[in-house]
Amino acid sequence: MPPDMTDSVWPTDLSYDPKAKSLSVIFDTGETFILPAEYLRVESPSAEVQAHGGEKVIVGGRRHVGIMEIEPVGNYAVRIVFDDLHDTGIYSWRTLYDLGVEQEGRWADYLTALDTKGLSRDP
């Protein structure tokens, strides 16, 4: 992320492709990110996953997870309901933007953590 970037990134389009199980987000910066449901699920900003104040929980077995609903939260975020019934993460526009910008590194870290913990992406 550029150092002068403020918290005011704004999505101009948000759409879910159920066949590809991916969320497409276009921001007013002109950037487009394709975020797989699995990635969004394992990087959920929920306390359950992020363990605020503790160690992040590595969630395995979500290779085939999909999204059932995307609900607006005010004008600043969405709540994503996954088909594994996880629904407590509030994805602010900044969170979605950061997940897009940092996708490659976060995904590599996730795969390494799965391997270290003896977990799999498969259910």
Q: What is the pLDDT at residue 7?
A: 64
Query: Of the candidates 86, 2, 105, 101, which has an alpha carbon nearest to the alpha carbon of residue 45?
Result: 86
Q: Which two tokens stand for residue 65?
A: 């997870």
Termini Cα distance of the chain: 34
Spell out the residues 6+ positions from residue 71 whose beta carbon is closer than 8 angstroms to its own.
78, 79, 80, 81
Q: Which two tokens stand for residue 66?
A: 């999909």
Whole-angstrom distance, CA of residue 122 vs CA of residue 40:
16
In the chain, the percentage of residues whose pLDDT exceeds 70 is 94
User: Residue 109: CA atoms inside 13 Å, Cβ hemisphere, count?
Assistant: 12
Q: For residue range 78-98, list pLDDT tens digits in order.
A: 999 999 999 999 999 999 999
Whole-angstrom distance, CA of residue 66 vs CA of residue 21:
6
Query: Of the candidates 77, 7, 10, 5, which has an alpha carbon nearest to the alpha carbon of residue 44?
Result: 77
Whole-angstrom distance, CA of residue 23 vs CA of residue 3:
26
**Mean pLDDT taken over the chain:** 93
Q: Does domain 37-117 have CATH number 3.30.2020.30?
A: yes
In the chain, the percentage of residues whose pLDDT exceeds 90 is 86
Q: Which two tokens stand for residue 95?
A: 């969170």
